[in-house]
Homo-oligomer: A and B are copies of this chain.
């Protein structure tokens, strides 16, 4: 078990990120925890050699991201007589981790939290920075807290059995990190190691995850509570992408939505003269290399519904929705767009 990052967060807390070689090593680490509860879903829990008594295993899927699931976890913890110094271990993808983290954050006003992401998306996106939550009244993550895990344990081996669509979803976020990074290492690695990554070579995945996390950490440590606008850069592709996801009843994956949203953000930036041509061309080329082509044009008749979805995005503040556009690699900028600019971006460019 190698500690690859120690991330300083709000209030002096720290999240340590570890890379583990095998599931056996993970089992050893988890068994050394004291009093704890394991939280997983029916898919992810199959990766575990055994499931301890008192574990809470929920069905898979975004629709489980509800108060009812949180209740199961709180009841599980109470039935094990867990105290505040007990550990909630979340094992799975983003839904499980967000729920386990939320439950941990409110159990006795905050128990200990260890997260074990088992999808590429959750390894590079969901586990750092402390965002927890569940969907409520039909709004994604309407209820949540900021509650960083004390440690995140990454076992790239778990990615070998991940369905292709979920693997691609994670790659969308990795490409986003490449665009947002001030240095060229992740971008160049994605170009030079494409075949190894797609073949899910363990060493290549391990390196890609490290480089991707480094970018996320750069942003969140400068704005741990998302109050300064810096961390908002991580929403690149998300405002466009979330709206598309919600219009499609969340039938396309998060990473696909984000990749589509990056296309649209590049289009909007080009139209405003804000995004340089050569940067946009390189970014589009990287997106295409990983199979993200920016399809799903929004026809005129659906545009009002699309704008409604855009406006309901929870990242609005004081009534105006800000989009992350790019002035170049590692140079995000928050910009309001009028409806015509949005329309041009989502119609005319793919």
CA distance A67 to B139 in the complex (A): 18
Give A319 to B106 CA distance when docked, in angstroms: 20
Q: What residues of chain B lie closer than 8 Å to A75, measured between beta carbons?
A: 137
Q: Assess whether A145 is interfacial by the CB under 8 Å rule.
A: yes
8 Å CB interface, A22-62 against B: none
Known contacts A11-B11, A317-B83; A146 and B74 CB within 8 A of each other: no
Q: Give CA–CA (A109, B316) in the complex, Å.
A: 14
Task: Tell me the smallest distance from the CB of A326 to a CB of chain B, in Å.
Answer: 25
Residues of B within 8 A of A71 (CB): 67
Chain B hits for A107, CB < 8 A: 142-143
State whether the Cβ of A349 lies closer than 8 Å to any Cβ in chain B.
no
Task: Indicate with 1 or 0, residue by residue over A113-157, a CB within 8 angstroms of chain B CB atoms.
Answer: 000000000000000000111001101011111100000000000
B108→A142 contact, CB < 8 A = yes
Q: What's the Cα separation between A319 and B105 when bound, in Å?
A: 21
Please pick, from B78, B83, B141, B317, the residue contacting A109 in the complex, using a CB distance under 8 A: B141
> Looking at chain A, what size class is its interface with the partner chain?
35 or more
User: How far is the CB of A127 from the nearest CB of chain B, in Å?
Assistant: 16
CB pair A146 B109 closer than 8 Å: yes
Q: Contact check: which of B109, B139, B142, B319 meets A133 at CB < 8 Å?
A: B109
CA distance in complex: A109, B139 (Å): 13
Residues of A within 8 A of B (CB): 10-12, 67, 71, 74-75, 78, 83-85, 105-110, 131-133, 136-137, 139, 141-146, 225-226, 314, 316-319
Besides A10-B11, A107-B143, A110-B225, 12 new A-B residue pairs in contact (Cβ under 8 A), listed by A number:
A11-B11, A67-B71, A74-B136, A75-B137, A78-B137, A78-B139, A83-B319, A84-B317, A85-B318, A106-B143, A107-B142, A108-B144
28 contacts between A and B (CB under 8 A): A10-B11, A67-B67, A67-B71, A74-B142, A74-B143, A75-B137, A78-B139, A78-B142, A83-B314, A83-B316, A83-B317, A83-B318, A84-B314, A84-B317, A85-B318, A105-B145, A106-B106, A106-B133, A106-B144, A106-B145, A108-B314, A109-B132, A109-B133, A109-B141, A109-B144, A109-B146, A109-B226, A110-B145
